[in-house]
Structure 1
Amino acid sequence: MQLGYSFCPNDTFIFYALSHGKIATPAPVTEVLEDVETLNVWAMEGRLPLTKISYAAYGRLREHYVALRSGGALGRGVGPLLVARNPLDNLRGKRIAIPGRHTTAFLLLSLRDEGFIPLEMRYDRIMPAVQAGEVDAGLIIHESRFTYPRYGLVKVFDLGEWWEGETGLPLPLGAILARRDLGEPTIRALDRAVRESLEYAHAHPEETVAYIKQHALEMEDEVIWAHIRTYVNEFSLDVGEEGERAVNELFKRAEERGLLPRQPQPAFLI
């Protein structure tokens, strides 16, 4: 069974045990590592049975996929940042580099602002593009939140702070989805396996290091573990009631604005 997730330390930390045969699974798991927007597009095609995905993309896919309760990325202090060479008063008419039209980062920016010109780039190209003046600002995710000052960039605003101020809820970023055609028993077994994989990583963090560094774009230990501490938290073990409310609120606001289609299916395993 193919499992898609990103190169980022939080994903390689969570899925180390699962992808290395440390955890019992309903079928052997083969890792497929790609950037999050590629995984979003593949999910639109139904390509992978089990995959990490942006919540913004999941808002279009509930008929065919269901989110597992474990393995996702939600939390406080985890928001995408808008960065630029200099402070910006407003975004109207500005060229903004975004990490993909199906990312939660772009959905949040669209909920907050309008009138900007989005230009899609792979997430690791955004800061160099802003630094070089190819765009007016960039919407950054993943490790970039810790490294943007190295590029001489300043934070324009934090979309996580905006979301938390608007809703009082944690910010939903990404989920682990299982295709509904796998059947409920298999999906529940996969949910348990993802949770056990994360528990294994917490119990044996030293085992995960080589695998994380094999794929990380930023190799410094300080950046890697800051990333993991930020994005791997109690919501990663189980989304919980508060996490579910946050996801439903994101979908509700986006549907009301016409940014996502209305879909009746529940977002998570009951």
Structure 2
Amino acid sequence: MRQKAICPNPVTIAHSPDADDIFMYYAVKFGWVCTPQPFVNKALDIETLNEAALEGRYDVSAISFALYPKIREEYALLRTAVSFGEGYGPKLIKKKGTRLRRNFKVALSGRHTTNAMLFRIAYPEARIVYKNFLEIEKAVLEGEVHAGVLIHESILDFDENLEVEREIWDIWRELAGNDLPLPLGGMALRRSIPLLRAIEIEQTLTKAVDVANRHRGLLANMLLERNLVRIDAATLEKYLDLYANDRSVTMDDTQLQALDKLFQIGYEHGFYDCPIRAEDFMIPHEYAGERFS
């Protein structure tokens, strides 16, 4: 009697619905990259993903880099699908012509986001409310808050009645003391996944980001035709130039230095219980070669 093949359990990849995350994942979704086992995806806003990572809910999840030290025991940090700002990033906006007091009320996109940590260091007296990132611009316009930090595609196109009070990039440069890129978001993989399988998953996702980047025009058109992104073609192209580019495929030494600096800053300001180095918490790819050598 012929035995049925046993299919491995699917791997859940959770990512945000913003254009760069969708772009970097959809080479898998469209079948351009073969997966070692079935992948399923969930698209949720970044703070929902951060909260889910604290609960260990998904196999692989997009996270804000500032969250990572808090989940380091449960998740390994992946080298791929990363977003860094280089001279740009989230923006603190307010109504034109207004002046912010020291204790101004501000809307942030989530307690565990990178921009929230840097903002809280720079503005310790501000009164913070947390909102879905899509609601922040409206909250400022309607006077619910005095200011808000815009993220994702919102940084490229916001209401003409608003103006930038300060760039989070400038806060980062003051704290970091150099021109390192601003670490915003990446991916983490649950440590309970067997190591060889974890290596395969990371390699697959790395290939997907690379394939997406090399076929950017075709993939971008497919996303637009299927209404999978919230922005038009010109804005999508500009946004992908910022956050889904050659340096998103795999972290380089400069990005690792920036990540270590972010973790150091967070520790020095009481956000983490101990200092960590990013590279110490990544998947050891050399294991596969040594095992089968």
2:104 counterpart residue number: 94
Of 45, 65, 79, which aligns to 2:55?
45
Runs ≥4 residues deviating over 6 A:
none
Tell me, in whole angstroms, the C-alpha distance in 2 between the residues paired with 1:19 and 1:229.
21
Which 5+ residue runs of structure 1 have no aligned equivalent? none
2:117 counterpart residue number: 107
Of 214, 218, 230, which aligns to 2:227?
214
Superposed, which structure 2 residues align to 1:149-164 within 5 Å? 150-164=159-173
2:253 counterpart residue number: 241
Residue 78 in 1 paired to residue 91 in 2?
Answer: no
How much has 1:263 moved relative to structure 2? 5.8
| Residues 62 and 263 in structure 1, CA contact (< 8 A), matched pair in contact too | no
| Residues 106 and 129 in structure 2, CA contact (< 8 A), matched pair in contact too | yes
What TM-score comes out, normalization by structure 2 length? Answer: 0.86
Write the deviation string for residues 52-85 of structure 1: whole angstroms up to 9, x where unpaired: 0001111211111111111111130332110000
SS of match in other structure, 2:48: helix
Out of 126-135 and 190-199, give the one that drifted further.
Answer: 190-199
How much has 1:191 moved relative to structure 2? 1.8
How much has 1:93 moved relative to structure 2? 1.2
Which 5+ residue runs of structure 2 have no aligned equivalent? 1-10, 285-293
Of 123, 130, 146, which aligns to 2:133?
123
1:258 counterpart residue number: 270
How much has 1:267 moved relative to structure 2? 3.7
Aligned residues: 268
| Residues 75 and 235 in structure 1, CA contact (< 8 A), matched pair in contact too | no
| Residues 108 and 128 in structure 2, CA contact (< 8 A), matched pair in contact too | yes
How much has 1:268 moved relative to structure 2? 2.8
Tell me, in whole angstroms, the C-alpha distance in 2 between the residues paired with 1:10 and 1:249.
24
Tell me, in whole angstroms, the C-alpha distance in 1 between the residues paired with 2:161 and 2:173.
27
Residue 141 in 1 paired to residue 141 in 2?
Answer: no
Residue 20 in 1 paired to residue 34 in 2?
Answer: no
Q: Which amino acid aligns with 1:217?
A: R
Write the deviation string for residues 87-133 of structure 1: whole angstroms up to 9, x where unpaired: 56655211000001011110110122210001011001000110111
SS of match in other structure, 1:178: strand
Tell me, in whole angstroms, the C-alpha distance in 1 between the residues paired with 2:161 and 2:98.
15
* Structure number, greater radius of gyration: 2
How much has 1:8 moved relative to structure 2? 1.0
Of 192, 202, 213, which aligns to 2:213?
202
Cα 1:51–1:99, aligned 2, differ >3 Å: closer, same or farther?
A: same
Q: Which amino acid aligns with 1:215?
A: L
Out of 179-188 and 33-42, give the one that drifted further.
Answer: 179-188
Among the aligned pairs, what percent are the same residue?
27
How much has 1:86 moved relative to structure 2? 3.1
| Residues 15 and 61 in structure 2, CA contact (< 8 A), matched pair in contact too | yes
How much has 1:241 moved relative to structure 2? 1.0
1:67 counterpart residue number: 77
How much has 1:223 moved relative to structure 2? 1.2
- With a CA cutoff of 8 Å and minimum separation of 6, indicate the structure with the bigger relative contact order: 1
